[in-house]
Amino acid sequence: MTTQEMQAAFEQAYGHKAEKVFFSPGRVNLIGEHTDYNGGCVFPCALSFGAWLLIAKNEDNVLRFRSLNMPQVYEIAIDAIAPQPDRAWCNYSLGCIEIIARRHPEAKLESGYDLMYYGNVPAGAGLSSSAAMEVVTARAFTEEMAVSDRGGYPCGYTDEKAYRTELALIGQACEHEYAGVMCGIMDQFASAQGKKDHAIYLNCDTMEFEHVPVKLEGIKVVITNTHSPHHLDSGAYNDRVRQCKTAVEQISKVKPIKCLAELTPEDWKEVEGAITDPIAKKRARHVVGEVARTAAAVEALKKGEIAYFGELMTASHVSLRDDYEVTGKELDTLAEAAWQVEGVLGSRMTGGGFGGCTVSLVKDEAIEEFKAFVGKEYEEKTGLKADFYVAEIGDGVMRLA
């Protein structure tokens, strides 16, 4: 859908034109899975698809929410902002608006607004459709509620990177409080800080990061959707968090640590015997290895060693399958089929797991064969049809008009 078509839909719905248009991308994590809440680094990039928000002020002191993706329509008074029941999709917006006012007392919602969203991130695919919606809302309403004349950034920020980090933090707080998902910062951070043709090497604890150029000559990043929706807030995800905590507690009896990411592979050989819980040991082994793989993958990319980068992606999936056990039949079928295609450098699950997508590095000349073979294998073994997206790495959140 074009911006012009969105503008026409807005005018048809509300009877007047949108005043501003914003966009925020989804993301894919190239490597570094389940490391974020263990003190490690991740390596996501923003995508060229995401969430659009069109807004205009109204004189009725209400927030009107419409989406071109969902049928539900909401109308909420600006002095009665609170989480709505039945997991209402507008909670992702309401949360950001309320959190902006809380974090920045000078920010005021002095008018009602008509809002319309459109997204082309596949819902439930683990590509951060919710984070894109949160960050685009945070971008729009920090501007509307707290315009600053000190450097051009809302909320008093004079530094673009600091402002974009604040957008990510607003989105994360919304996810915690209004959606009930205790996520890390990666998704919102990638949506806010993304840079075209770069991935983000991010320490989720300190939020220190580096934009690393992604130079893939003759190679594409291909995302494959299982259409088996992931459930980030599932009990299985929370179990992994608890099991990693158990590993830290038991290791600390022989080597004081605060998080698993402090351990090198050499350290691991010395301390793994301290973990008496066999499940916790498997989870910790994945985290220690994944932290090391992620660092190695970033260096490989900087050196142009793309084949080695792909090997590390594949090793990441194997570890997520065998030690962290978050892949499942659908993701394993996709990855294992991809590994059989000549011209595939590496393939792995991406996101929290339990469904969602794989990400693969595929040579240009092998893309059609990749789609045909992987699609056929997947449908025969699961009864589901996969979708394929040849990804472009795009910029972070922005105002378009």
Contact status, residue 93 vs residue 132, Cβ threshold 8 Å: no
- How many Å apart are CA 76 and CA 74, to the nearest integer? 7
Contact status, residue 117 vs residue 162, Cβ threshold 8 Å: no
- How many Å apart are CA 32 and CA 44, to the nearest integer? 8
- How many Å apart are CA 200 and CA 241, to the nearest integer? 23
DSSP assignment letter at 122 = P
Using only C-alpha atoms, the chain has a radius of gyration, in whole angstroms, of 22
What is the DSSP pairing of strand 62-67 with strand 112-119?
A: parallel
Indicate the angle between helix axes 91-103 and 160-174, nearest 10 degrees. Answer: 130
Neighbouring-strand partners of residue 399: 22
- How many Å apart are CA 206 and CA 43, to the nearest integer? 15
62-67: strand order across its sheet: 74-77, 62-67, 112-119, 44-58, 20-29, 398-399
Q: Active-site residue 323, yes or no?
A: no
Backbone angles phi, psi at 21, to 5 degrees: -130, 130
Closest among 186, 201, 120 to 389, alpha carbons compared: 120
What is the DSSP pairing of strand 112-119 with strand 219-225?
A: unpaired
Which residue out of 36, 114, 187, 323 is catalytically annotated? 187
Contact status, residue 90 vs residue 74, Cβ threshold 8 Å: yes
| Residues marked as catalytic | 187
